[in-house]
Amino acid sequence: MNRTQFSPTSVELWIRSFSPVSTGPTQERALEHVAVLEEHTAIDAAVHVWGTEIERNATRPLRIPQLERIERRLESFEDWARDVERQLEPFFRRRRVESTITDETHEVWRPPTVALAEFDGEKLCHVAPCRDGERTIDVFDRLEALAADTNTVLRFDGDRRTETDPDAGSNAAISDQPSRRTRSLDGQLESSPGPE
């Protein structure tokens, strides 16, 4: 399946606020990867926070700009997934909640603990986590691919994941080509000076 080639100019890392301690290492690892990505590439990065569930409400977002931003972003993620034939569920879930007190029904989104959105200028180019057929592409797959080469697109060949390099003139796996980088992202994390 051919995908449009792109080089993201910016990424947004979305993390869930007040997540259980068990998700803390995942969020910390993602934050560290984004910091290294921003330091070692030309990609701009921003970190945003969303809640466990976000209620879809036609009037409230007008009064709360952060909720309006989150709702617009979630809608753009759904539009992107529809356009490129990817699935955001089960990572991004939408459900209806009924109040036994007011008898009202509300639609809520339940976003993942960690998500990554990639942009080429203002255009949304990729969202992780997502599913491409039976394959899952998670946030760390994308962060590793971006750190390796900002012009890398994930592809699936048979039963193994490959990263193709459009500049190499073929669809050969990057691992089969000479490496253009000296250290992996995890190696950069290990050698980065810690907080003093």
Q: How many domains does the chain have?
A: 2
- Both 63 and 120 in one domain: the answer is yes
User: pLDDT at position 99, please?
Assistant: 81
In a domain, 194, yes or no: no
- Both 122 and 176 in one domain: the answer is no
User: pLDDT at position 25, please?
Assistant: 81
In a domain, 14, yes or no: yes
> What's the start-to-end Cα distance of the chain, in Å?
47
- Facing residues of 195 across strands? none
In a domain, 129, yes or no: yes
pLDDT string in tens for the chain (196-residue length): 334 456 778 999 999 986 665 656 888 899 999 999 988 888 999 999 998 988 877 666 567 888 889 999 999 999 999 999 999 999 999 888 888 888 888 889 999 999 999 999 999 999 999 999 999 999 999 999 998 864 444 444 444 444 444 444 433 333 333 333 334 444 444 444 544 4
- Both 39 and 134 in one domain: the answer is yes
Amino acid at position 104, single letter: E
User: pLDDT at position 24, please?
Assistant: 66
- Facing residues of 96 across strands? 107
In a domain, 32, yes or no: yes
In a domain, 68, yes or no: yes
- Both 24 and 58 in one domain: the answer is yes
Give Cβ neighbours of residue 3 (< 8 Å, ≥ 6 apart).
Answer: 84, 153, 155
In a domain, 5, yes or no: no
Q: Tokens standing for 176?
A: 């089969």
- Both 49 and 92 in one domain: the answer is yes
- Both 74 and 163 in one domain: the answer is no
In a domain, 190, yes or no: no
* CB distance 140 to 29 below 8 Å: yes
User: pLDDT at position 136, please?
Assistant: 96
- Both 143 and 165 in one domain: the answer is no
User: pLDDT at position 23, please?
Assistant: 59
- Both 64 and 144 in one domain: the answer is yes
- Both 46 and 132 in one domain: the answer is yes
* pTM of the predicted model as reported, rounded to 2 decimal places: 0.70
- Both 84 and 112 in one domain: the answer is yes
- Both 69 and 105 in one domain: the answer is yes
111: containing domain: 10-148
- Both 110 and 158 in one domain: the answer is no
In a domain, 92, yes or no: yes
